Structure 1
């Protein structure tokens, strides 16, 4: 029997990124920065192939606070980035009609006050609430109070205070962001090839991809191929047949329509998610327009009806016709297979309810750099990459499923399905632990933190039946005094902040675009 050939070792000499858009250029930028610092004799060439005939999805315009660390790693000028991408600031997400009609709650970025005797502030708040006389926990979230008053300044100071007890992210035009990173990457040596891939060559024996051929006959060879081809998954599925974990039984939405509209005042520093009869609608305010979309399940409503609901609930005139999107929630069984790594939509898709798509791109390229291979693409590196990506995907999946499962809505067949559906054992454990003890467990250290889970659990009316008995060690009167002082400090601090729109106009206002991007 012939022994399978082991790929030759040695450093990578060329990385080929298949696909542009947000995923492609967010991958190319840090790789270009990394290689620009390497000795030219040992430098790895980076080539990105982008087809002018294939559009990008472009629904991921809201982000999580970690986008700031990605930008900082690239040494981007924050003010320039905001102006170039028509960005605004994001303090969290406002949820409307989730859980029950008329419900409203906020998922803010930040804590609900400092821990007390090694127990979270919320646990102590729950104890006081059970005794009566406590307002909503949202009064102790600086980000939430800021958002509801349309105020914004970046956190200030090093000593813990209400002036820095919050974080923030951005809303931006994903197309403009990709173009901004394209210029950044190409300035650091990344080359761009325009064309459509019509053939893929693989090495006999081990199935490693060796080259791709473009429609004009050019053949581009490489040692490592990064699949940023979106839902097409040209290499990871088309060539490697990595397989797919289908999660539509937990996340049944399979369609979306997206359309921008004229911007309206006030310029809110948060995303809005409004539950509809067969899904939900997003609203993302940018400097030059407002992004909107309707995510829905085609089994419970028609495309025409979904489009009507979307257009009927815009703040201003639509800037074009809604763009139709189809998807299947889930993830690849392997996101790194042989010498192919999938990043972005080619690796999987969890609907944009909590703005995780760009987060998964950042973490995908970050882990690739951390586990950077040589030409052999050792399978143990790939296994570790796949383990960590799977853990993150599953944690995000559970957090999104939580939004649907904890509903009391019975006004439509869709919501009746969601309330009655089975859920992953991991999520069931997290819900029941909180319901029975008020404790939150975090299964993925890189996933959503305790305050985020608390915001959703309480916002969806999941209340603990019992509390940690050690909470009784804190004097009730002293505890109430502490919470009242903290609430006043937050309120007074936010009162002194400028309006979100005024802050942007003063410091980071972008030049008007001639035409709003669809």
Structure 2
């Protein structure tokens, strides 16, 4: 990428961690034209949030864009593979369902599979919709394999992401970025200097007196939002009235076999507990609302529900759900926690960083920083945040748990009009529409709606145009083929062992299909 006299030459990233080093690695690959300087400022004295991270399929796109070899990545980050998320106790206490990556069944002549399933759901032998997802069949069996390219093979419908250690991922990307020319500056920012006329950030001064100038500033300073929030004054839009969880305890324990290829989210009296299986350990955490449970009780509940003894000291994270009103103001763009926070229920934090980076590259400014580019970035990023917000609220609102103050509150609270409309449309005839390239697609909304008891009143009438016997035969065959394919896959642990030590080098796959997420 090169430019004329107005081209930006100095890009400064404030803060490291996952967000900062993702930006640095991508900038090193796509912005460094030999004339542009990319600098990252971070202080070893300031800790990062990083705990075990779960991701969603677009992470494959990001790794592929950087040319990262999957074997190297899995080895360096102690990664495992992820086929979806199991939700335990979210609809009713004791219920469980898996929100899979990939699709359900096969669409026929443009009719979505879940419409066909809804039409025949009452027939003997049809069973739950989970029986028709290849990713669920493999997850339940504790097995994993890469998707195939043959559309006749049910394994072609697999989609996957990763679990990995966020600290190791940041270190992996740091090594990548520094090899490609990113300059890391160790130090704590003591003061921010702004241009008197425009109000843009001109330079920062470190606590040892060094002064660093920049033209484009990327704020990855975490919840503090040093540049966008504190300096530029962009207000925070608080969503705690819809998402009241505001605390999380995190603690690792030993790896437990079998190594499961999915994340687990278990509903608790005032929130939920995560379980993320990595190669070397299991990541655990308890997200809860301090308005309904004390920190001490929440920690006791987490420790009582671990697979093994804690392998470290529990860490407390305090947060407020929401986002900055504008992720880009002046010459400052915020990524990660500096731009906003949504609890990790659907593993979207890293995706929002990735999406922000890709949008910034698509709308990369020159030194004029035109309002039209900034406005489009803000429109698309806030739309992405808002759509993910609605999807997370759905999990809380669509519950049949009763007699527990927290769950009674979230079940009956007012919800955004955008979500209410989506639920009403699905409840009538199972229809789902996506807007503004929102992240979650038809299979995702279908998984959570059906998994938590929102069953359409009837099916889309267009499904009646298909031959019933043919459709039922297809459904029976697909379920049988999914189970058969899962049975011959290697176990998840065996797949990783083979990838790391014996198998051929496998590079991260290319762009994911929309219906994968």
Q: TM class by shorter-chain length?
A: over 0.9
Residue of structure 2 in register with 1:254 after alignment = 246
Paired residue total:
499
Give the TM-score normalised by structure 1: 0.95
Residue of structure 1 in register with 2:24 after alignment = 28
Q: Which of 292, 295, 300 does residue 287 from structure 2 map onto? A: 295
Q: Which of 4, 7, 11 does residue 7 from structure 2 map onto? A: 11
Q: Which of 201, 204, 212 does residue 204 from structure 2 map onto? A: 212
The 5 Å alignment of 1:237-248 reads 237-248=229-240
Q: Distance in 2 between matches of 1:218 and 1:374?
A: 26
Residue of structure 1 in register with 2:322 after alignment = 330
Cα distance, 1:161 vs. partner? 2.2
Q: Conserved in 2, the CA contact under 8 Å of 1:18 and 1:226?
A: yes
Q: Conserved in 2, the CA contact under 8 Å of 1:235 and 1:340?
A: yes
3-state SS of paired residue (2:54): coil
Q: Please tell me the root mean square deviation across aligned C-alpha atoms, in Å.
A: 1.3
* 167-176 or 464-473, which deviates more: 464-473
* 436-445 or 342-351, which deviates more: 436-445
Q: Distance in 2 between matches of 1:509 and 1:177?
A: 20
The 5 Å alignment of 1:12-411 reads 12-36=8-32, 38=33, 40=34, 43-59=35-51, 61-411=53-403
Q: Distance in 2 between matches of 1:259 and 1:470?
A: 50
Cα distance, 1:173 vs. partner? 0.4
Cα distance, 1:133 vs. partner? 3.9
Cα distance, 1:390 vs. partner? 0.5
2:462 matched to 1:470? yes
Q: Conserved in 1, the CA contact under 8 Å of 2:118 and 2:458?
A: no
Residue of structure 2 in register with 1:3 after alignment = none
Cα distance, 1:443 vs. partner? 2.5
Q: Distance in 1 between matches of 2:440 and 2:369?
A: 31
Cα distance, 1:120 vs. partner? 0.5
Cα distance, 1:9 vs. partner? 6.9
Q: Distance in 2 between matches of 1:389 and 1:288?
A: 35
Cα distance, 1:160 vs. partner? 4.1
Q: Conserved in 2, the CA contact under 8 Å of 1:83 and 1:509?
A: no
3-state SS of paired residue (1:273): strand
3-state SS of paired residue (2:61): helix
Q: Conserved in 1, the CA contact under 8 Å of 2:234 and 2:325?
A: yes
Q: Distance in 1 between matches of 2:262 and 2:436?
A: 25
Deviations 1:69-99 (A, max 9, x none): 1001000111011000000000000000001
Q: Distance in 1 between matches of 2:273 and 2:5?
A: 50
Q: Evaluate the alpha carbon distance shift between residue 398 and residue 509 of structure 1 in structure 2; reply closer, same or farther with a 3 A threshold.
A: farther
Cα distance, 1:487 vs. partner? 1.1
For structure 2, the 5+ residue unaligned runs are: 503-517
Q: Distance in 1 between matches of 2:31 and 2:423?
A: 45
Give the TM-score normalised by structure 2: 0.95
Q: Evaluate the alpha carbon distance shift between residue 178 and residue 307 of structure 1 in structure 2; reply closer, same or farther with a 3 A threshold.
A: same
2:496 matched to 1:497? no
Q: Conserved in 2, the CA contact under 8 Å of 1:60 and 1:355?
A: no
Q: Conserved in 1, the CA contact under 8 Å of 2:116 and 2:459?
A: no
Q: Conserved in 2, the CA contact under 8 Å of 1:209 and 1:340?
A: yes
* Runs of 4+ that moved beyond 3 A: 130-133
Q: Distance in 1 between matches of 2:165 and 2:299?
A: 22
3-state SS of paired residue (1:99): coil
* 330-339 or 440-449, which deviates more: 440-449
Deviations 1:199-247 (A, max 9, x none): 0000012101000000100000000100000001000011011111110
For structure 1, the 5+ residue unaligned runs are: 1-7, 511-518
